[in-house]
Copies of this chain bind each other. A is one copy, B any other.
Amino acid sequence: MTEPLLGAAARQAPFESPSREPPRRRGTAPGGHVCRGRKRRVEAFSCPFLFLFRGVEASPRRRLIPLPVWGGAWHTGAPRSERRDFSSFVARTNTCGELRSAHVGQKVTLYGWIQYQRQGLFLVLRDFQGLTQIIIPQDEARSHVKELLSSAPVESVVRVTGVVSLRPPGQENPKMPTGDIEVKVETAEVLNSCKKLPFEIKDFIKKSEALRMQYRYLDLRSFQLQYNLRLRSQIVMRMREYLCNLHGFVDVETPTLFKRTPGGAKEFLVPSREAGKFYSLPQSPQQFKQLLMVGGLDRYFQVARCYRDEGSRPDRQPEFTQIDIEMSFVDQNGIQRLIEGLLQYSWPEDRSPVTTPFPSMTYEEALADYGTDKPDTRFGMKIVDISDFSQRLGIHFVQNALSYPHGTVKAICIPQGMVSDIFTYSVRFMPDGSLKSLLTKFLGQEQQSELIQELKMQVDDVVLLAAGEHKRVCSALGSLRLESADLLEAAGLVLRDPAVFHFLWVVDFPLFLPKEDNPTELESAHHPFTAPHPSDTSLLYSDPTKVRSQHYDLVLNGSEVGGGSIRIHNAELQRFVLEKVLKEDSEVLSHLLDALEFGAPPHGGIALGLDRLISLIVGAQSIRDVIAFPKSFRGRDLMGNAPDYVTAEELEPYHIQVSWPVAEAEAKKN
């Protein structure tokens, strides 16, 4: 019941985490989901005074962005000045998306898949770049060519050589980039015949995702996946050009076989040949990139493979990719300008352009106005504090809520909220000028007017109210705000234009948070290497809970797409944070503390979640749609059947054996 409160955005992963951080217990929310660090989920129903909410079905919040037509897309996003040669080193003269009326009369050789074939008269040949209509010869002399092409099953691979001709007048297809021409075949060869497919290709998209994953190599032939993977490649290439060629960054590969983070329960283990010793697959290159700065590399980046073992989580992958960046002698402003330039430079030409600088908001503002640290700023419906107004109502349970520390009453006004009839218990602004709500019995005429004015209500608007502790109330209303947006869009209103991209910096996070299970102790809000805000350094020794950090998150359309910080470069400060504030054993990080003592420069960095970023750009429903061979949400490769059983002999060199769960063992084997 509480689950729908958490939209896809809220389930996102953090993009930067230390590969070795002090032990930290992860809080578990009632819904059973493990929370990340201390940016905890707040449950709506634990608010003492949250009304007007009814469980709703989570509906997909993203819509597919209309894509360019097949054959027109591949050159977009490419470096502007360069022309790619897709036919170098092979025998084809052209791709299937290239031919235009200017080619008429040329003899061409194409290679591709038979998309469609009709009555031995013509076929449509497809490759990664587009479609070309192929005319099958009907003369006796080429009967073998006709025989060959007519009998080859759909999805067979063929070579055809022939002459480009204009289509007969009236038969042009303006929707097809090659729609003016056709190729009259002279010779042809079936390079590989396709056996009967397990399903009709045209129905494939409607099949279960499991089937698509099992036959991923067929799904990859679809326009959408070709587009997604090619755009991803091109965006990353542009990012590399910006970082490496324009700004002197060094692409450094860091190890993925490292050492277990104490308490890093989300790290995959890799048994070594030394009995009892394990590598681990790091969640990020955090330690290595800081050590590279100590090593004087000055500007590092890496398109880094990272690993996180979270068991079954929707829209997460056990391995994922981040654009990992670290710089020496930089401040928060420097990193933010760098990233803005990076995104602007690599942004695909067929998307609405990115304007810089991105707006910035403090964590406190984001929470107060949007009830989340990753606000979707594409639409309003901001949270309004109506504590003063509510105080005056004299309703007992409202006043009770306000009497607690940080007690507050807040509201969001949902414009046109009445188009959706699910807000049964909300305050509605009726056409007759009155408010309709279970609350109205508490509201006099004057108070109704006051509320309408305070919230700038219009006819047909709906207001949701919540009272209770500030953070919880904000979080609850923030979730309701997103759910309401879904509902309004499901009812036909457009709130969030999928073609619009709203980037936002969120800054000034708290450096520490009370531990969920023991609020007298503190833990890092992000990771223990984050530097305190320069104005708050002295508070570190007096009231660490008040210290803001130099952490920054990058948010796109309500999803966290990046995060980073200025790091602690002073060994003494780092040791104080670890030992005195976090009460951790600093011994496990001795190499990093050592390194800070040997002339570590001031440094900072960021990591962008590439899978998420690309999925937002292409408007994909899931990050699985921008990954060539994704795992299922249970971490399985359905095509190759991984993970799989291995024999006891194969485990021997690693000095491990399987501890079969007594009852489950047999069941799992079957």
A78 within 8 A of B: yes
Residues of B within 8 A of A598 (CB): 155, 194-195, 197, 215, 217-218
Closest to A339 in B: B89
* A residues 291-324 touching B (CB-CB < 8 Å): 291-292, 294-299, 305, 307, 309, 311, 318-319, 321
* A residues 632-653 touching B (CB-CB < 8 Å): 635, 637, 639-646, 650-653
Contact assessment for B216 and A85 in the assembled complex, using a CB-CB cutoff below 8 Å: no
Contact assessment for A650 and B194 in the assembled complex, using a CB-CB cutoff below 8 Å: no
A337 within 8 A of B: yes
Contact assessment for A327 and B650 in the assembled complex, using a CB-CB cutoff below 8 Å: no
Q: Which of A113, A191, A244, A668 lies at the interface centre, i.e. has the most chain B CB atoms within 10 A of its CB?
A: A244
A275 within 8 A of B: yes
Contact assessment for A329 and B111 in the assembled complex, using a CB-CB cutoff below 8 Å: yes
Residues of B within 8 A of A350 (CB): none
Contact assessment for A155 and B253 in the assembled complex, using a CB-CB cutoff below 8 Å: no
Once A216-B291, A246-B82 are accepted as A-B contacts, the answer to whether A327 and B90 lie under 8 Å apart by CB is yes
Once A217-B598, A642-B279 are accepted as A-B contacts, the answer to whether A84 and B628 lie under 8 Å apart by CB is no
Contact assessment for B272 and A635 in the assembled complex, using a CB-CB cutoff below 8 Å: yes
A265 within 8 A of B: yes
Residues of B within 8 A of A296 (CB): 113, 126-128, 220-221, 226
- Residue in B272, B337, B338, B599 whose CB lies within 8 Å of A157: B599
Closest to A272 in B: B643
Minimum distance in angstroms from A324 CB to a CB of chain B: 13
A425 within 8 A of B: no
Once A84-B247, A192-B601, A600-B157 are accepted as A-B contacts, the answer to whether A654 and B254 lie under 8 Å apart by CB is no
Contact assessment for B654 and A269 in the assembled complex, using a CB-CB cutoff below 8 Å: yes
Residues of B within 8 A of A64 (CB): none
A658 to B273 alpha-carbon distance, docked (Å): 11
Residues of B within 8 A of A82 (CB): 245-246
* A residues 11-47 touching B (CB-CB < 8 Å): 20
- Residue in B233, B269, B295, B569 whose CB lies within 8 Å of A251: B233
- Residue in B90, B259, B311 whose CB lies within 8 Å of A642: B259
Interface size on A, residues (CB 8 A): 143
Minimum distance in angstroms from A155 CB to a CB of chain B: 4
Residues of B within 8 A of A661 (CB): 275, 655
Contact assessment for B256 and A305 in the assembled complex, using a CB-CB cutoff below 8 Å: yes
Minimum distance in angstroms from A115 CB to a CB of chain B: 11
Contact assessment for A660 and B628 in the assembled complex, using a CB-CB cutoff below 8 Å: no
Contact assessment for B217 and A257 in the assembled complex, using a CB-CB cutoff below 8 Å: no
Minimum distance in angstroms from A118 CB to a CB of chain B: 19
Residues of B within 8 A of A84 (CB): 245-248
A457 within 8 A of B: no
Residues of B within 8 A of A654 (CB): 269
Residues of B within 8 A of A272 (CB): 635, 643
Contact assessment for A298 and B192 in the assembled complex, using a CB-CB cutoff below 8 Å: no
A91 within 8 A of B: yes
A459 within 8 A of B: no
A265 to B210 alpha-carbon distance, docked (Å): 31
Contact assessment for B640 and A275 in the assembled complex, using a CB-CB cutoff below 8 Å: no
Minimum distance in angstroms from A378 CB to a CB of chain B: 28
Of the A-B pairs whose beta carbons lie under 8 Å apart in the complex, a sample of 19, sorted by A's number, is A84-B248, A85-B248, A90-B329, A126-B296, A157-B599, A193-B599, A197-B598, A216-B291, A221-B296, A229-B297, A230-B250, A233-B252, A260-B644, A260-B646, A271-B271, A273-B309, A278-B643, A288-B628, A655-B660
**Chain A positions near chain B (C-beta within 8 angstroms):** 20, 74, 78-79, 82, 84-86, 88-92, 111, 113, 126-128, 155-157, 159, 191-195, 197, 215-221, 225-226, 229-230, 233-234, 236-237, 240, 244-248, 250-260, 265, 268-281, 287-288, 291-292, 294-299, 305, 307, 309, 311, 318-319, 321, 327-331, 334-335, 337-338, 569-570, 591, 594-602, 627-629, 631, 635, 637, 639-646, 650-661, 664-665, 668-669
Closest 8 CB pairs of A and B: A220-B295, A259-B642, A194-B599, A89-B334, A277-B643, A86-B248, A272-B643, A84-B248
